[in-house]
């Protein structure tokens, strides 16, 4: 299945921005795990499932470790703004992965739906950089959730900022 990450716009804001990095994952929880690797510190991570062709998705039985997992539903009812927020619904991967339910209901509702685990925790703060002479920096963008490592002499062109090691 294909997903895009949803990153909370700030600690405990409850509003999520759509990331720009496509994720291919076997399950919703696998996609959340992949997306969380680039999450801004202190922010929670969700995912937006999508499919490139129209029609109803085929049911995908959840893997044993996915079965029973629950997700709060994030919606984007104002159209393709890239801003999602919780709407009070909870989907579970029981009988089929919860991502399929999102894909089907997006067509019914006419707006995008995302998922965030009901027990989502904020991303940990970045660890201090190595103090060696060949330090590296990390680039990060809160709206896209992308994160890459760059050397201190690299130029960042992704719109993020680089923080060289001390």
Residues 97-133 have pLDDT tens digits of: 999 888 888 888 889 999 999 999 999 876 554 444 4
Length of the chain: 166
Q: Are 97 and 66 in contact (CB under 8 A)?
A: yes
φ, ψ (nearest 5 deg) of residue 101: -65, -40
* Count of C-beta atoms within a 10 Å radius of residue 87: 13
* pLDDT given for residue 109 in this prediction: 87
Which residues have CB under 8 Å from 121's CB, separation 6+?
Answer: 44
C-alpha 122, offset from chain centre: 12
């Amino acid at each position: 299945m294909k997903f895009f990450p949803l990153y909370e716009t700030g600690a405990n804001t409850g509003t999520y921005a759509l990331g720009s990095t496509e994720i291919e994952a076997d399950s919703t929880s696998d996609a959340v795990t992949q997306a969380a690797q680039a999450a801004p510190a202190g922010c929670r991570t969700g995912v937006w499932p999508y499919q490139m062709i129209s029609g109803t998705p085929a049911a995908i039985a959840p893997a044993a470790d996915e079965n029973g997992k629950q997700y709060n539903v994030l919606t984007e009812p104002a159209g393709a703004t890239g801003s999602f927020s919780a709407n009070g619904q909870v989907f579970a991967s029981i009988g089929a992965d919860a991502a399929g339910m999102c894909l089907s209901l997006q067509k019914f509702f006419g707006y995008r739906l995302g998922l965030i685990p009901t027990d989502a925790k904020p991303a940990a703060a970045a660890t201090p950089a190595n103090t060696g002479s060949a330090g590296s920096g990390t680039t990060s963008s809160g709206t896209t959730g992308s994160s890459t490592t760059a050397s201190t002499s690299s130029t960042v062109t992704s719109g993020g900022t680089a923080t060289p090691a001390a």
